[in-house]
Amino acid sequence: MFIKDIKVFVCSPGRNFVTVKVITDTGIFGLGDATVNGREMAVVAFLQEHVAPCLIGRNPHDIEDIWQYLYRGVYWRKGPINMAAIAAIDMALWDIKGKVAGLPVYQLLGGKSRKGVTLYAHANGESITDTLDKAEALISQGFKAIRLQSAIPGLKVTYGVLGDKKDYFELQGNRPLPPEEDWSTAKYFQMIDELFKQARARLGDEVQLVHDVHSRLTPIESAKLGKMLEKYNLLFLEDASMAENQENYRVIRQHTTTPMAIGETYNTLWDCKDLIQEQLIDYIRVAATHAGGITSLRRIADFASIFNVKTAPHGAPDLSPICLAAHMHLNIWAPNFGIQEFVGFGNEQLQAVFKHSVTVENGMAMVSDEPGLGVDFDEDAAKELPYKRSYLPVCRLEDGTVWNW
Ligand code: CS2
Ligand code: MG
């Protein structure tokens, strides 16, 4: 069996996705997600020009050797574009191996460690009341864990709060240049305690609560926030501060017992090695698409398990259903799985392009027993929805200084 062709597609069913199809001489193919939001065409060119030519003729079963060839074998390691390309090839090869074996990928990883995959859903509101109305609706659908994001009074836009007018799955603003958003730590601190105070009063103590700070705070501000929210017993606080300098989390950890989660922008184990090894975080949120695929995420999960760090894979709408499928197989296997972020299955266009076999009931997702990853990609439907240039927003403080988005 050998790799005969590698096709790269970029389509826009609401927002852009880069999809890789690895085709073998037997006709069996595998699919991978290589989407890097706002940098899609860089990954397409990288895959077509620099990765695909090296793999034609190779045995698709050599997943580990191909991963090492593309990572260790290359002088230019790491980086989001490189690792997304490796990730997509890796997912496609696991998909092929499963199809050849007639087994779902989780069986190749070692089988199930649990019945189903617990999800956390998003409640995003224009006000605290609006956010909690949405949270109550999700709880009545059976979700046991909810992420709460509420608009910050006095700011034009708040991360994660799109209102009812916009579809979360649509392009972020659908503008040919980056939209700008504003930030004020002082205004945020005026809102955040009240959000969780009202949340516990209305939703009770049982529901698990999550909040994404989206890296807007400095380490000492994060420490203050964690301490302030301790009484509301969060499952975790996500991306409180940036950790390009992993030492940052030592400052946070010295002051608060609120659990910390980070990792959605990380590309390798090296980006989170110290955070995990020194037990400065509780959940590692790396995505298969952005951190080197199933081979790499399996390694990160095993490393994290030694230090009592759980996995909580990124599940934003800019990761394609192929990535969600890869996460599902990892989640059902990983002994130290924590929770999976979940924003729904997207609009009709998205579901027409990507066919998946994940089901959700009572806040829990089930992986299907279809061989491989259990996803399919409709090339014709994708062709009807061409790529549109789009960017994530840029953030500025109220005095105009560029800040972390
Ligand atoms: C996020 C995303 O889901 C999350 O936790 O932080 O919304 C993130 O902003 C996007 O995936 C950006 O690409
Ligand atoms: Mg996040």
Q: Which residues line ligand 1 (CB under 6 A)?
A: 37, 212, 214, 264, 314, 316, 318, 341, 392
Ligand 1 atom nearest to 122, measured from its CA: 3
Ligand 1 centroid distance, CA of 190 (Å): 23
- Using CA atoms, how far residue 145 sits from 28, 205, 209, in Å, is 38, 11, 6
**Amino acid identity, position 58:** R
For residue 35, give the DSSP letter: -
- Decide if 3-103 and 108-372 have a common fold: no
CB atoms within 10 A of CB 112: 14
Q: How far apart are CA 405 and CA 402, in angstroms?
A: 9
pTM for this predicted structure: 0.97
Q: Which residues contact 146 (CB under 8 A, 6 or more apart)?
A: 120, 121, 122, 123, 135, 138, 139, 203, 207, 208, 209, 210
Distance CA 291, CA 267 (A): 4
CATH class, range 3-103: alpha beta
Q: Do the Cβ atoms of 91 and 338 come closer than 8 Å?
A: no
What is the Å distance from ligand 1's center to 262 Cα? 11
Find how far residue 20's CA is from the centre of its chain.
18
pLDDT digits (tens, 9 = 90+) for 55-102: 999 999 999 999 999 999 999 999 999 999 999 999 999 999 999 999
117 by DSSP, 3-state: which?
A: strand
Q: Indicate the domain borders of the chain.
A: 3-103, 108-372
Task: Tell how far the Cα of 59 is from the centroid of ligand 1, in angstroms.
Answer: 35
Which ligand has the nearest atom to the CA of 287? 1
Give the closest residue to 22 by CA, choosing from 45, 54, 64, 69: 54
How far, in Å, CA of 155 to CA of 161, rounded? 12
CATH class for domain 108-372?
alpha beta
Contact 91, 32 (CB under 8 A): yes
* pLDDT per position as a tens digit, 277-326: 999 999 999 999 999 999 999 999 999 999 999 999 999 999 999 999 99
State both tokens at 65.
Answer: 């050797």
Pocket perturbation via mutation, ligand 1, pick of 213, 214, 262, 285 by most ligand atoms within 8 A of CB: 214
The percentage of the chain sitting over the pLDDT mark of 70, rounded to a whole number, equals: 97
Q: Model confidence at 161, in pLDDT bands (50, 70, 90)?
A: confident
